[in-house]
Amino acid sequence: SDLCACVQCKAGHLACGSCVAQLPFGQCKPCVNGGGFFNPCPALDAVVSSTRIGCPNAGCQRYVTYHEVAEHQKACPHAPCHCMEPGCGYAGAPQALAGHLYTIHSVPVRAVQYGKVSKFQLPVSAPRLVLLGDDNNHVFVLTVGALGAGAAAVSVVCARARAATRPRFTCKMWVNLERPPAAAANCSKQDMVLVDMHIRSSSSPGAVAAADEPTFLPVPRMYLVPAAAGEGVPMEVPLHIRIDKVSPWSV
């Protein structure tokens, strides 16, 4: 842009357009009485514009021109995310954060394919599950939380810095009401609860509370299933989930 262009006053002083825009009346300070005005300097601008800078984020090997660095960092998939486990100050790219949550905090990790339904039994007592997209570049964190007396809430976020950027994925989550075989035989339609949502991004996905999300899946108590036979066993959410890329897709 013009604000990034190199400029030069008549006395030969050089500056960048962004800095000149902040000067009073756009005049050169080193000149006597600040009377020098700047003009474009195409030759130097061509040299500076050809200079490329490596992205500082670990794992990113892209080089961009100096005036594109800020824009690239807004969308860089390797921008660091933070672990919010109590007492843990780890920060790393989403893929590295997934490995950290698995190895250090024993958070389960599962693979999902975009556009296909996956089913998981989510223990109500285990608050998180990490999902890895089949492009190996995106990490999602499922969070399970309490919702009233015995009910549960399930939310999902994309582990991604710059959470204000637009959504890149949509998600459908649902649970079916499981009935005894005799009761199911008399029903022509299965009861379910479903949510269809855009997945927002979070640079601190471990800190997300399911019921505090703007969109989440409420799971009534009768939809929960026991983890095993017998009484007093932990309850689980029989979750179906499908994640799709938003079209048109951009990295």
Number of residues that this document lists for the chain: 251
Residues contacting residue 11 through CB under 8 Å, at least 6 positions apart:
28, 30, 31, 36
Q: What is the set of domains in the chain, with CATH numbers?
A: 2-75 (3.30.40.10), 81-245 (2.60.210.10)
End-to-end alpha carbon distance in the chain:
22
What's the average pLDDT block by block, 10 residues per block, for the chain (251 residues)? Answer: 66 77 77 70 73 76 74 72 86 88 93 95 89 87 86 90 71 87 57 92 80 88 83 85 79 45
Q: Amino acid letter at 251?
A: V
Please report the pLDDT score of residue 3 as a whole number: 47
Please report the pLDDT score of residue 248 as a whole number: 60
pTM of the full predicted structure? 0.70
- How far is CA 226 from its chain centroid? 32
34: left (phi over 0), alpha (psi -120 to 50) or beta: left
* Residue with the two structure tokens 């066993």: 233
In angstroms, the CA 169 to CA 157 distance is 10
